């Protein structure tokens, strides 16, 4: 990357927050600024593994979906990235009102703090989804550039898909895949090649990547079912969770991908199941009265959850759980 193309990250943060205060991010952050940031963050992602191995302590966060103010709430409560280690499980964009703002902020944090700020890819970081659910529209409304939208996709195509915390906590956005039951080690997760555009995710022979992004647990499934209501990815059951944990010495599997009422929910409402769903965007889409949650993993591997209650209530909201995301 040329010196001229390298983003001035301190200036970027200054202009970014000026744009937030102005109420129009595009008034301060130009297309050129974004292109430079995207070039820089793509390079950072490619210098790090597809399968991250992280140490404790770390704060783990689930879906955010353009709810920028809730990210600020998390950092206010837990410390900004220069103070804490963070792992995010994907779905930064779509549906929320500040998708562009949130993803730019996250990418700037990744460039500024590459060794303690980690971002996995979610299913909404794929063009077939974010073109339909709001991100494409947001980019075009603010910057009127199809090329800039495509630049975002080239970064998403290089993001990691899974992480392992201190060899004991396995994390991904979606869920488990049959290949894990036959693998000799979790190194199989690092062998997924990049870049990984949509057409490669859905291609035959790439089921592992598909399931890491899309799979869901289901109490009515023992092993795997290919009939996922999403139309992509598998459903998996308790026996799969047990076998993966036993095979690789895993204490807990952490995934996101579904709205849960209290922000975190153990599979089958049983902490001994070994799997928890984490969703971090409270009052999701302004329509749900769900809480959001983060998971703290302490230095000694102790796990605790912090719940963020909705700041706004809507009379039309309803208490719904496990919505497909």
Please give the pLDDT value at position 323: 54
> CB of 281 within 8 A of CB of 63?
yes
Nearest alpha carbon to residue 212 among 227, 222, 202, 225: 202
Supply the pTM of this predicted model. 0.94
Mean pLDDT per block of 10 residues along the chain (325 residues) reads 66 93 91 97 98 99 96 95 96 95 97 98 97 96 97 98 99 97 96 92 81 96 84 91 98 98 97 98 90 98 96 50 55
Domain chopping of the chain, boundaries = 9-315
Please give the pLDDT value at position 324: 53
Please give the pLDDT value at position 307: 98
Please give the pLDDT value at position 116: 96
Q: Give the CATH number of domain 9-315; options: 3.20.20.220, 2.30.140.10, 2.60.40.10, 3.60.21.10.
A: 3.60.21.10
Please give the pLDDT value at position 311: 80
Q: What stretch of H or E contains 304?
A: strand 303-308
Among all residues, which ones are annotated catalytic?
Answer: 124
Please give the pLDDT value at position 205: 67
């Amino acid at each position: 990357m040329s010196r001229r193309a390298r983003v001035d990250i301190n200036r970027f943060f200054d202009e970014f927050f000026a744009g937030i205060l102005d109420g129009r991010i595009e008034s301060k952050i130009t297309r050129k600024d974004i292109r430079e940031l995207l070039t820089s963050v793509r390079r950072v992602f490619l210098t790090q593994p597809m399968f991250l191995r992280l140490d404790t302590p770390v704060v783990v966060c689930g879906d955010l979906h353009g709810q920028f103010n809730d990210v600020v709430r998390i950092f206010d409560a837990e410390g900004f990235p220069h103070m804490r280690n963070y792992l995010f499980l994907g779905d930064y964009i779509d549906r929320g009102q500040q998708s562009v703002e949130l993803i730019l902020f996250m990418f700037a944090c990744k460039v500024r703090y590459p060794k303690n700020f980690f971002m996995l890819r979610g299913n909404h970081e794929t063009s077939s989804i974010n073109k339909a659910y709001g991100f494409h529209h947001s980019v075009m409304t603010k910057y009127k550039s199809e090329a800039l939208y495509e630049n975002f996709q080239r970064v998403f195509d290089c993001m990691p898909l899974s992480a392992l915390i201190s060899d004991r906590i396995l994390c991904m956005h979606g869920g488990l895949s049959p290949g894990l039951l036959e693998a000799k080690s979790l190194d199989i997760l690092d062998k997924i090649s990049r870049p990984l555009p949509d057409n490669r995710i859905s291609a035959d022979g790439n089921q592992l990547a598909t399931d890491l992004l899309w799979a869901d647990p289901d109490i009515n499934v023992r092993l795997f079912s290919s009939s996922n209501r999403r139309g992509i990815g598998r459903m998996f059951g308790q026996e799969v969770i047990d076998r993966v944990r036993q095979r690789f010495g895993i204490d807990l599997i952490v995934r996101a991908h579904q709205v849960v009422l209290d922000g975190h929910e153990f599979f089958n409402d049983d902490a001994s199941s070994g799997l928890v769903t984490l969703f971090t965007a409270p009052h999701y889409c302004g329509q749900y009265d769900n809480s959001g949650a983060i998971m703290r993993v302490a230095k000694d591997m102790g796990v605790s959850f912090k719940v963020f209650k909705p700041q706004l209530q809507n009379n039309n909201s309803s208490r719904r759980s496990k919505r497909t995301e």
